[in-house]
A and B are shown apart, each in its own frame.
Chain A
Amino acid sequence: MVCDDVRRVVYFFLDDQLGERKLEDLRGHLKDCRNCDDRVAVHKRLRDFIRRRLHPLSAPGPLRSRIHEALRRSPA
């Protein structure tokens, strides 16, 4: 695997979607390539950051009861 490949698969690697072979290739490359190893670390940190900051909002309280009422009133 070359550095360009790493860039293309890094998201899928972080998603645990790489097959065994590709995974091995990637891990081998990361062991030897400091640049790419850093890259993967950056992506991971950015992802964690994004997930935390776009944390799910809770539905407003009244919404649940509105839905409940609407469901009760509607024909099945």
Chain B
Amino acid sequence: MKSAEAYEHEQGWDFEKAAMPYVDSLYNTAYRMTRNSEDAEDLVQETYLKAYKYYDKFEEGTNFKAWLFKIMKNTFINNYRKKKLTPHKIDFSEIEESYERVIQKNAPDLIRDPETEIFQDMMDEDVKRALDTLPHDYKMVVLLADIEGFSYKEIAEILDCPVGTVMSRLYRGRKMLERTLLEYARKYGYIRGGEPAKMRSRKDEGKSGAKKKGGADVEAEEAPAGDEEDDLNLLASDTEEFEFELDDSSEEEEEFELE
């Protein structure tokens, strides 16, 4: 009969053996979420302690990595999201449109030289900055899918939301991220594109510049809310970062039929 101490020791060892392989992944995501290494380390440590505490609640045979990530996500929400974030309406149709414009103009250039990396002169910092402009909810799904390689189902489990929501957020998150990168590329001259979006005068934009409400076009005279337009242009001062929170009313979930 094992002493309580010996048992604890063994369970501790089991847990560490199972859990420590994920420390790099957890740290990486924690870092992208908190954006500084100190908070990231604290978050990861707290996650491990919580996971250890509830280890007996983990169902053997289910996805352990997803379970750890779920704990981390909840810990993050409880401890690190105290700061009130700015609710922000995302006009996704504007994002799609500007994305389309840039792609149409530049597709041949963007696929030329498949051997070399696209935007190879762009710095890692810019890519990270682009990621940080995403609303938290979009950023999370992009991280979990594209960096950590979780499936839609696993992401839904981690985030406690329907798979449809995951797909919708992935679609939008990826598109927003790509669009931002394309804007940077245009700004730095890697691709063509005429004037950067924010320099177009509102008068010139006409219909395409006006915000669409509920699918209907609005008059060109109606000036789009200044702040939002600037935020979306994302060519603003390099040191500013916008932390967007999704305004619930702005998230009309799209449905994607994959079958």
Contact = CB atoms under 8 A, between A and B. Distances in A.
Interface of A: 8-9, 11-12, 15, 17-19, 21-22, 35, 38-39, 41-43, 45-54, 56-60, 63-64, 66-68, 70-72, 74-76
B168 to A, nearest CB: 11
A65 B152 CA distance: 33
Q: Is the interface of A mostly helix, strand, loop or mixed?
A: helix
A30 B82 CA distance: 47
A50 B139 CA distance: 13
B44 A11 contact: no
A18 B259 CA distance: 6
B119 A51 contact: no
Nearest to B171: A11
A16 to B, nearest CB: 10
Interface size class of B (residues with CB under 8 A): 35 or more
Given A11-B174, A49-B117, A67-B23, A19 B259 contact: yes
A71 B171 CA distance: 39
Interface string B12-35: 100110001001111110011000
Given A39-B103, A46-B181, A53-B124, A11 B170 contact: yes
A22 B259 contact: yes
Given A12-B258, A57-B28, A71-B16, A63 B131 contact: no
Contacts of A63: 23, 27, 41, 44-45
Contact of B131 (A11, A49, A54, A74): A54
B45 A70 contact: yes
A47 to B, nearest CB: 7
Interface of B: 8, 11-12, 15-16, 20, 23-28, 31-32, 37, 41, 44-45, 48-49, 52-53, 55, 103, 107-108, 110-111, 114, 117-119, 122, 124, 127-128, 131, 143, 145-147, 152, 167, 170-171, 174, 177-178, 181, 254, 256-259
A15 B145 contact: yes
Nearest to A19: B259
A51 B147 contact: yes
Contacts of B124: 53-54
Contacts of A66: 41, 45
B146 A47 contact: yes
27 contacts: A8-B171, A21-B259, A39-B107, A41-B111, A41-B114, A42-B103, A42-B110, A42-B111, A43-B178, A45-B110, A46-B118, A48-B118, A49-B117, A49-B127, A50-B177, A51-B147, A52-B117, A54-B128, A54-B131, A56-B24, A56-B25, A57-B28, A59-B28, A67-B45, A70-B45, A76-B11, A76-B55
A9 B41 contact: no
Contacts of B167: 12
B4 to A, nearest CB: 9
Given A45-B110, A70-B45, A56 B147 contact: yes
